[in-house]
Structure 1
Amino acid sequence: MPKPTPHPAHSPRQSVFPGRGSYREAARIGEVLRKETVGGMLLVALAAIAIVWANSPWAASYFAVRDFRIGYAPWHLELSLGGWAADGLLAIFFFLVGLELKREFVAGDLRQIRTAVVPIAAAVGGVAVPALIYLAVIGNDPGLRGGWAIPTATDIAFAVAVLALIGSHLPSPLRIFLLTLAVVDDLIAIGIIALFYTDTIDLLPLLFALVTIIVYGLIAQLSRRFFGLHPAAPWLILLPVGLVAWAFMHASGIHATIAGVLLGFTIPVLHHKSDRADSAGPGLAEQFEHRFRPLSAGFAVPLFAFFSAGVAVGGLDGFASALTDPLTVGIVAALVLGKPIGILTTTWLVSKTLRIRLDLALRWVDLTGVGLLAGIGFTVSLLVAELSFAPGSPEYDHAKVAVLAASIIAAGLAAIVLTVRNRGYRRISEQDTIDADGDGIPDVYQQADAGH
């Protein structure tokens, strides 16, 4: 059998970005993105239903459902259904963010400086530049400054749903770069929420929350020793402990989703040194991701989108008023322009400074497409919008209209750029699946390892 044509990027990985990682990691991320694709389509569908319902003759019933309160008030847990979605269901999403961060630091692109520096810099640029553009557009209006963090997030589920809808064959290195970028982006957003969107902190519940999270982490770290590979045993203890930690964090005044991130970060992640199957079986991180990913992508995030995206725009006049509001213009400009500009600029500066070159199979227009995809803020942007402005205020509604409009525009522009390049992506994808020696691992990953 003839040998495959060498991939143009088969050179030492420390001088090339975006990196493709190991085959095991690439396969895992491919599976993650396939699950997020389904979730992204559900998210878009439920958000569309909410917008139509909220602007229909039956709008009152939508808001009655969203604002229906349930829970136990003495424990600070009497929330509206919309509040339960934002504080409770999104904690599942942020648990997976914490787990993904742990994976990236242990076994992914963030475990080594040479592979971490580009996506981290790109994420920082993709947060800072949109915030600066937003502040520049809204000017000196003190009532709008609190929304500066709205355009800083990336919605990976919505982004990969766009890739699926346009039939993109986005190469594995770009998919890994996009996911890593989004995960770091979410980490920054989590820090912003904790630091800038917490009005008061009750120290005693916070202390209890941190102690409970430490206990949770100790149980998780010791679970393999005491429970072996039994898939159900850790759940009987970890699930109730996690719920207690979430409740204490919620009572402390810090947004309860922060508990999800911290809990996810305590889960042990196995660092597989080989692309071969692990005879020891899946670790706790694999078990949790297998169970929680469908729940997050298929239920928690879409339901949050349903309760959060429903905004009564007040007909054509109200919609026109929202679009001309400096708040709306600032958010749209920040997401659609600021995200790709920030990501591309910082990536270019880091690559030139550290003499890291772009993979020869790719072009800078490909990173432009990824930057536009990152401009789809949606889930976390909607959450920050709810934290930035008082419910029912014009700013509250206009911010959500802006997030929706910006996400649609960014998705459309990304689709155009990536569709134009799709023929080239197909060739790269076909090249990356060649397995001439028939060992089950594409040769491109073994050649990259040999070059390294």
Structure 2
Amino acid sequence: MAVPRAKPRLFRLGSWVEARRMAAILRQETIGGALLLGAALVGIVWANTPWSAGYASLREYQLGPSALHLDLSVATWAADGLLAIFFFVAGLELKREFVAGDLRDPRRAAVPVAAAIGGVAVPAILYLLIAGGAGGDATRGWAVPTATDIAFALAVLAVVGRHLPSALRTFMLTLAVVDDLIAILIIAVFYTTDLDVLPLLGALVPLAGFGLLVRRRVRSWWLLLPLAAATWVLVHESGVHATVAGVLLAFTVPVGSNGDGLAERFEHRFRPISAGVAVPVFAFLTAGVTIGGLDGLADALSDPAAVGVVAGLIVGKAIGITAATWLVARFTKASLDEGLRWADVVGLGMLGGIGFTVSLLIGELAFGPGSPRAEHVTVAVLAGSVGAALLATAVLRLRDRAHRRLQEAQAADEDHDGVPDAYQAGAADRKTGDGL
């Protein structure tokens, strides 16, 4: 007699090894998030002091070889160069998740991928509904509220959600990484105005050389770095945003089955550079807009493009992520894992509204650095991200208390073998295919 199949559940625990890896990433991103916020605050304060001219001069100072068309401003170097490191790390993480992580199972991957897609589509639609009738170039900013900032969001999650199940943390991290991949595709497709095909085809040569060397487990920086730099330069010269080169390079790096591949080694080496240097410097050079007090803030947020960004981040993200997750549950007839509530998902959806890094980048690409509308959108990204963070904090704090009580009640049942009982049960679920 056949045993009836158990009803599938959303947010089942993954493997204990993967949970420990996620915990290490969260600790690093928490520090990166704090540095990001600190750098952004310094930029905002400096730009609104009597010494703001010095900040503007720093942003606009040009350096680099003009023969290669790389005599760029410091702000452009931060957006095109430093953020390429950020997207290289994001690409490594994404490949690791889908090749060797718990999300290599399509059923488990479906939830965060669907949530990421919903979290991109709904804010974009909401933005267009609000700003579409404003005329001018307002519609170019439709992608600004579609991004989720990994460092900022995970920093908030680490502070207010210390007792949330690790499956929710994995969901949030993967959602943010997939979200970044979608953002890079949007940048490459919709914000590439003048495409030069020859340099883009030429970039395939150093990219292939880089891929060949890493496939042979070559780690010599003096071989890999020139090929990576050549790929970046050619992608930049083609008119495609240069950060795309970071993702392409990351996708060539092999992932080890036991956590010992070059992808893991590179991620361990470059994540501190990304979180501790690249993203904070970009935030410092981008977030500094002259607000002009409450009147200036009100003027900036009266721009329909700014209103669309705030609504997209605070409302659109929460609706899109939650609705997409609910639809997956509906069509797969899955239920939430034991102890979870839809309020957990809503809180994570609100957390996804922290746009910041990539939203600031898209805002500059859409409206041009330093333009009045770009500055209005920057203010909107900051306001929307802070608003989303505060709302998510209110919801997740309540849920964190509930999960803490549940974990305290379960603590007496642990067998102290080094692996929590819940993960041992999760291993059984993975064998039977009951987890999503």
Normalised to the residue count of structure 2, the TM-score between the two structures is 0.93
Distance apart, 1:128 and its partner CA: 0.3
For the pair 1:120 / 2:113, whether they are aligned, the reply is yes
Equivalence for 2:99: 106
Equivalence for 2:223: 237
Equivalence for 1:6: none
1:429 to 1:150, Cα distance in 2 relative to 1, 3 A: farther
Equivalence for 2:281: 303
1:213 to 1:177, Cα distance in 2 relative to 1, 3 A: same
Letter in 1 for 2:400: N
1:15 to 1:431, Cα distance in 2 relative to 1, 3 A: farther
Distance apart, 1:108 and its partner CA: 2.4
Give the root-mean-square deviation of aligned CA atoms: 1.9
Q: Where does structure 1 lack aligned partners over 5 or more consecutive residues? A: 1-10, 228-232, 273-277
Count of equivalent residues? 426
Equivalence for 1:204: 198
**CA deviation vs aligned residue, 1:111-159 (integer Å, no higher than 9, x gap):** 2221111111111110000000000001322410000000000011101
1:431 to 1:184, Cα distance in 2 relative to 1, 3 A: farther
Distance apart, 1:17 and its partner CA: 1.3
Q: What secondary structure, in the 3-state scheme, does the structure 1 residue paired with 2:216 have?
A: helix
How far apart, in 1, do the equivalents of 2:276 and 2:140 lie?
31
Percent of residue pairs identical = 57
1:13 to 1:305, Cα distance in 2 relative to 1, 3 A: farther
Equivalence for 1:217: 211
How far apart, in 1, do the equivalents of 2:377 and 2:162 lie?
30
**324, 349, 365: which one pairs with 1:346?**
324
Letter in 2 for 1:181: L
**371, 377, 390: which one pairs with 1:412?**
390
Letter in 2 for 1:21: G
Letter in 1 for 2:17: R
Does the aligned pair in 2 maintain the 1:171–1:428 contact within 8 Å?
no
Equivalence for 2:354: 376
1:19 to 1:200, Cα distance in 2 relative to 1, 3 A: farther
Does the aligned pair in 1 maintain the 2:198–2:238 contact within 8 Å?
yes
| Aligned positions of 1:325-340 closer than 5 A | 325-340=303-318
For the pair 1:53 / 2:39, whether they are aligned, the reply is no
How far apart, in 2, do the equivalents of 1:360 and 1:242 lie?
46
Letter in 2 for 1:129: V
Distance apart, 1:403 and its partner CA: 0.1
Q: What secondary structure, in the 3-state scheme, does the structure 2 residue paired with 1:392 have?
A: coil
**136, 144, 147: which one pairs with 1:150?**
144
Q: Stretches of 4+ moved more than 3 A in 1? A: 11-14, 164-168, 427-439
1:163 to 1:263, Cα distance in 2 relative to 1, 3 A: same
1:58 to 1:12, Cα distance in 2 relative to 1, 3 A: farther
Does the aligned pair in 2 maintain the 1:168–1:419 contact within 8 Å?
no
1:173 to 1:429, Cα distance in 2 relative to 1, 3 A: farther
Q: What secondary structure, in the 3-state scheme, does the structure 1 residue paired with 2:370 have?
A: coil
| Aligned positions of 1:248-267 closer than 5 A | 248-267=234-253
Equivalence for 1:177: 171
Distance apart, 1:14 and its partner CA: 8.1
**CA deviation vs aligned residue, 1:176-212 (integer Å, no higher than 9, x gap):** 0001111111111010000000011112211121221
Distance apart, 1:170 and its partner CA: 2.3
**CA deviation vs aligned residue, 1:275-333 (integer Å, no higher than 9, x gap):** xxx7xxx3212211111011100110010000010001233322111112211111000
Distance apart, 1:240 and its partner CA: 2.1
- Identify the range of structure 1 (400-409 vs 115-124) with the bigger mean alpha-carbon deviation: 115-124
Q: Where does structure 2 lack aligned partners over 5 or more consecutive residues? A: none
Does the aligned pair in 1 maintain the 2:318–2:349 contact within 8 Å?
yes
Letter in 2 for 1:175: R
Distance apart, 1:431 and its partner CA: 7.2
How far apart, in 2, do the equivalents of 1:398 and 1:268 lie?
42
For the pair 1:391 / 2:369, whether they are aligned, the reply is yes
Does the aligned pair in 2 maintain the 1:199–1:253 contact within 8 Å?
yes
Does the aligned pair in 1 maintain the 2:13–2:422 contact within 8 Å?
no
Letter in 1 for 2:48: N
How far apart, in 1, do the equivalents of 2:175 and 2:131 lie?
27
For the pair 1:444 / 2:422, whether they are aligned, the reply is yes
**257, 269, 279: which one pairs with 2:255?**
269
